[in-house]
Amino acid sequence: MVSQLKHVTIYTDGACLGNPGPGGYGVVLLYAGHRKELSRGFRLTTNNRMEIMAAIEGLRALKGRCAVTLITDSQLLINTMTKGWIQRWKANGWRKRNNQEVLNADLWPQLLDLCGRHQVEFRWTQGHAGDPENERCDELARRAAQGPALSRDTGYEAKARSGASRPRTPKP
């Protein structure tokens, strides 16, 4: 007998107070009338890292293989996962076409692995446009970024100490 996968909807968002600066992610998981919210703050990170971490932590929270609709306002996340960028980067040893290292190369393989465990459809939503779950994720992410006990984003801080390039523009 073939069992159907549970369908879970995951909303995600990241926030950064300065870029780089204190940041956080927010996640809302919805399944059959149940709701779970996740968030965590970091003392020094970037907005894009928080967007990626939100997706990672949302998928990581699933207990078994699921069909997932992951909804985000991050164009980077959507484009990377739906336009074949991540497969090219992986095939090129986490380097772009111009041979520059992919930013956040410590996070993309984690996300790719989690997507391999589930059937994931990525959908984009306009940020700050009234989607209640996206707004809730934004609130969770911002509160986490302002929290009193922020974690270390070791992946980012190690790169920052080594002088690796930092993002030049904030989230659109």
H/E run at residue 96: none
The reply to whether 106 belongs to the active site is no
The reply to whether 73 belongs to the active site is yes
Catalytic residue among 73, 118, 133, 153: 73
The reply to whether 18 belongs to the active site is no
The reply to whether 113 belongs to the active site is no
The reply to whether 128 belongs to the active site is yes
Encoded tokens for 70: 């992951």
The reply to whether 153 belongs to the active site is no
Catalytic residue among 57, 133, 138, 153: 138
Catalytic residue among 33, 128, 130, 163: 128
Catalytic residue among 14, 24, 26, 41: 14
Catalytic residue among 23, 51, 57, 133: 51
- Taking the C-alpha atoms of residue 18 and residue 97, their distance in angstroms, rounded to an integer, is 29
Residue 9 pairs in a beta bridge with 30, 69
Which contacts (CB < 8 Å, 24+ apart) does range 166-169 have?
Answer: 166/20, 166/46, 167/19, 167/20, 167/46, 167/47, 167/48, 167/103, 169/19
Give the active site residues: 13-14, 51, 73, 128, 138
